[in-house]
Amino acid sequence: MIQLHDVTKTYRSLIPPKPVVALAGMTLSFGAGEVVGIAGPNGAGKSTMLSIVLGFLSPTSGSVDIDGMKPRRFVERHGMAYVPELVAIPPWWRVTGALNRFAVLSGLPKAERAHRVEEAIESMGLEEHLGKSVKQLSKGNRQRLGIAQALLSDASVVIFDEPTHGLDPVWSDRFRDLVGTLRRPDRAIVIASHNLNELERVADRVAILDHGRLTRVTDLQAESQTRETRHYLLVLATDIEAVPEIFPGATRAPATDQGVAWTVDGELDFLNRGLRTLLEGGASVRSFAPRRSRLESEFHEAVGK
C-alpha cells in the first residue's frame, strides 16, 4: 500500500551550512491490514519519514508510492487520518466546532457529519469538554481531541505520531483498544512512538530507525511464537556459584539493593526448572522479573545503546 524506495532526505540551510541527513536510503513498505510501528531515538528521522508519507515534505532522492500515487496526490484525493505529535488546533475553536470543521474538511456527507462527530466524541471521552475552547483543554485532552479529529474520516491510511504523548495511563491503555478497532484489511496503520511497550502491544512489525537509517525491522507476529524466550533479572540474597551451571548463558548484572543479580534467559519451563533447583539448594530468591522485552532488546542492539 505504502512503499518507500531508497528515500533520502537532506535538510540544507545557509546557517549552519552543513547539510543534515534526516533519512538515508530508506526502503520500507506498509501493507494494507497491517499495524507498523516506527521506533527510534530522538532525531532518528521518524517525524521526517511521516512528513514524507503525508506529502508535507518531498524526499531529496528516492520515491514514495501510495496506491500508485505520490503522497500529496493521494492525500488530496483520499485524505489520511493523522495525529501529529503536537496537536495544533486554533485555540479559539470549541471542541464540537473543531470536530465539525474537520468533518467538513474530511469531505463527510452532511447527513453523516453529526453522527461521526458524536462517535468520535464518545470514543475519546470528550463529552464533558464539549463547550470548552481548545485553549482551555489540558495537554492530554487536546491530544484526545487530536485523535478524535483523525477518527472522523474513513481513511485507508492512519498515521499516529507519538499518539499517547500527554495521555494519562488510562487513555494510553484505551489507545491500544482503539488501534484494535481501527484495524481493517484495507487499512494501513503507522504508529511512531518512543514507547516500545505500546508498540509491542499494538504493532505487527516495528521498524527501528537510527540516525536516519532503517537499522532493523522486527516482526512481532513471528516474535509472538517465541515470546516465552525473554530476558529475566534474577536477584538472589547471596552469591551462588552454581547459577551459570543451572542457567547456561546467565550473565552477571549490576548488584541491586536486594542482592546479587543475574540476567538469565530461556523458555518458561526451563526457567521454572532452574528456579526449583536453586530453591531446593537453599537459595533465597529476592526477585525474578522480565528484564527487557525482545523489542526492547532489539531496539538497544539496533541503536547501539
Contact residues for other proteins, defined by CB under 8 A: 11, 20, 22, 48, 51, 54-58, 75-82, 84, 86-90, 92, 100-102, 104-107, 110, 146, 149-150, 153, 159
CB of 58 to other proteins, least distance (A): 6
Q: Which is nearer to other proteins, 80 or 202 (CB)?
A: 80
CB of 301 to other proteins, least distance (A): 27
Q: Which is nearer to other proteins, 55 or 266 (CB)?
A: 55
Q: Residue 80's closest CA among 50, 47, 101, 109?
A: 50
CB of 274 to other proteins, least distance (A): 50
Q: Which is nearer to other proteins, 20 or 255 (CB)?
A: 20
Q: Which is nearer to other proteins, 148 or 250 (CB)?
A: 148
Q: How far is CA 57 from CA 12, 200, 209, in A?
A: 13, 28, 18
CB of 137 to other proteins, least distance (A): 15
Q: Which is nearer to other proteins, 89 or 220 (CB)?
A: 89
CB of 106 to other proteins, least distance (A): 5
Amino acid at 162: E
Q: Which is nearer to other proteins, 49 or 278 (CB)?
A: 49
Q: Which is nearer to other proteins, 47 or 293 (CB)?
A: 47
User: The sheet that has 61-66: what strands, in order across it?
Assistant: 20-30, 2-11, 61-66
Q: Which is nearer to other proteins, 79 or 244 (CB)?
A: 79
CB of 127 to other proteins, least distance (A): 21
**8-15 long-range contacts, Cβ below 8 Å, gap at least 24?**
8/59, 8/60, 8/61, 8/62, 9/45, 9/48, 9/52, 9/57, 9/59, 9/60, 9/212, 10/60
CB of 226 to other proteins, least distance (A): 37
Q: Which is nearer to other proteins, 86 or 170 (CB)?
A: 86
Q: What is the dihedral sign for C-alpha 189, 193, 198, 203? A: positive
